[in-house]
Amino acid sequence: MSRTTFARCVAGSVVLVAAALLVARASGASSASQKLTIYAVPATVQFMNHADDRLRGMSTNPFKLKSEAVILGQGGKEKGNGPFPGDDILYGFKLFTDTKRSKPIGTAMFTCYYQFQKRATCDSYFDLTKGLVLASGQVRFGQSRFTLGVVGGTHGYLGASGQVNAQAAAGNAQRFDLRMTGLRT
Amino acid sequence: MERQGPRYSSVMPLRRAALLVVVSALVSASVVSGADALVSRSGAAADRRLTIYSVATGLQYINTADDRARGKVNNPLDSTASKLAPKSSNSPNGPFAGDIAVYALKLYRDATVKQPVGTAVYTCFFNYDRHALCQAYYRFKAGGTIVASGPVNFKISRFTIVVSGGTSKYLGAHGQASAVAARGNAQRIDFELLG
């Protein structure tokens, strides 16, 4: 082997070793996925009726809109019981890992702000033993099947993104399937 | 006269090779060392840590007692849900479910709160047992905003919320913000930003 060839071999080896070390170090901050199924039992519900704010907003507002026809009936009263735009409902849940609700895993809170047609934007958080998961999305009043987007998490769920699929479960429970990606390992 | 020039004896290639290996090892070490710093820096770019101190400068409390009372009588809930109405809080002044607190804060670089770096606002929507879902944004004078939200237990002085985004310097930021009480009325906030 000539000196030049030998030097090239050594230099090549050095570059390869350095590159391998870099890759090894860089791969240290990898991400992972996780699926988690939890069962939620409603614990508290608070309805906030903002009828006075709505009425005030109909007469005094910065827009040139007439929203009375959408919300008010013939007698000047609101049509039905809502929820109407501006109302909000706070749902508190106890969370379990099993359908028998014998293994508690934390609590969840949904704060739902209503728009038109009884649809709400719900901001939720799942306070679990390993950390917090935040999810948001649209939920129609009275419907148990919906999907939320996971916007993040803390501690064991740091860096989380993904979605939460909700559907009715046995009894008065709600089943949440959390599919999370981007979890920091 | 013996020729004065480079003499390539049979030993020389080995010496040169040994020298080359040593130099290579040093280069390798320096590359790895540099790589270490690079990874640390790139790690810092990807996983930035930022510590600031906040001091509250304004507070507005929104008492929604009338909406709560109206909601007890006039609501779309069925009988099962109506039975889950929360019990009254121990504190006569709340906070009660549905109340809102808006905080304005100044942000500082140092614990002595002398070097201002920006402002922040927390909008906290109370639910039960002195807990609230708080939505926060931190605006930095140097440019950029961090947006975060999450539950805060108002019975204790520490909380961790989710960093869900940012702008400019913090574009695409994700991670968490942990707050603990600092000296005086200040609060220390540690951001762990993943990207």
Distance CA B125, CA B136 (A): 11
Closest in B32, B72, B74 to A18, CB measured: B32
Q: How many CA atoms lie within 13 A of B73 on its CB side?
A: 7
Q: A179: buried, middle or exposed (CB in 10 Å: 19+, 13-18, 0-12)?
A: middle
Helix (H, G, I), strand (E, B) or coil at B75: coil
Name the residue of chain A whose CA is nearest to B97's CA: A46
Q: Which domains does chain B have, with CATH numbers?
A: 49-76+90-194 (2.40.480.10)
**Are the CB atoms for B107 and A85 separated by under 8 Å?**
no
Question: Do the Cβ atoms of A158 and B76 come within 8 Å?
Answer: no
Q: Ramachandran region of residue B58, left (φ > 0), alpha (ψ -120 to 50) or beta?
A: beta
Name the residue of chain A whose CA is nearest to B39's CA: A26
What tens digit of pLDDT does each residue of B36-90 get?
A: 322 233 344 468 999 999 999 999 999 999 999 999 998 999 988 988 988 765 6
ipTM for the assembly? 0.78
Question: Does B144 contact A at CB distance below 8 Å?
Answer: no
Element (H, E) at A141: none
Q: How many CA atoms lie within 13 A of B64 on its CB side?
A: 27
Can you give the pLDDT at residue B12?
41
Q: Has residue B96 got a pLDDT over 60?
A: yes
Alpha carbon of A21: minimum distance to chain B alpha carbons (Å)? 7
Instruction: Mark which residues 86-125 of A lie under 8 Å from B by CB.
Output: 87-90, 92, 109, 111, 118, 123, 125
Name residue B175's amino acid.
G
What is the DSSP secondary structure assignment for residue A78, as one 8-state letter? B
What tens digit of pLDDT does each residue of B98-141 get?
A: 999 999 999 999 999 999 999 999 999 999 999 999 999 999 99
Question: Does A51 contact B at CB distance below 8 Å?
Answer: yes
Alpha carbon of B128: minimum distance to chain A alpha carbons (Å)? 8
Number of CB pairs, chain A paired with chain B, less than 8 A apart: 151
Distance CA B149, CA B142 (A): 22
Q: Along the 185 residues of chain A, how does pLDDT read in single tens digits?
A: 555 665 665 565 555 544 544 444 444 467 899 999 999 999 999 999 999 998 888 888 887 766 666 666 667 777 777 899 999 999 999 999 999 999 999 999 999 999 988 999 999 999 999 999 999 999 999 999 999 999 999 999 999 999 999 999 998 899 999 999 999 87
What tens digit of pLDDT does each residue of A37-86 get?
A: 999 999 999 999 999 998 888 888 887 766 666 666 667 777 777 899 99
Using only C-alpha atoms, chain A has a radius of gyration, in whole angstroms, of: 26
Please enumerate in sequence order all residues whose Cβ is within 8 A of that of B99, keeping only pairs 6 or more positions apart, or say none.
B61, B62, B63, B64, B126
Q: Has residue B144 got a pLDDT over 50?
A: yes
Name the residue of chain A whose CA is nearest to B82's CA: A45
Question: Does B14 contact A at CB distance below 8 Å?
Answer: no
Question: Do the Cβ atoms of B28 and A111 come within 8 Å?
Answer: no
Question: Do the Cβ atoms of A132 and B28 come within 8 Å?
Answer: no
Name the residue of chain B whose CA is nearest to A93's CA: B84
Chain A residues in contact with B81 (beta carbon < 8 A):
42, 45
Q: Which two tokens stand for residue B107?
A: 């942000």
Question: Do the Cβ atoms of B150 and A13 come within 8 Å?
Answer: no
Peptide bond into A83 cis (omega under 30): yes
Alpha carbon of A144: minimum distance to chain B alpha carbons (Å)? 13
Q: Is the Cα torsion angle B112, B117, B118, B123 positive or negative in sign?
A: negative
- Determine how β-strand B100-108 pairs with β-strand A119-128: unpaired
Exposure letters A103-134 (e unless 16+ CB within 10 A, then b)? eebbbbbbbbbbeeebbbebbbbbbbeebbbb
Read off the pTM: 0.78
**Are the CB atoms for A6 and B20 separated by under 8 Å?**
yes
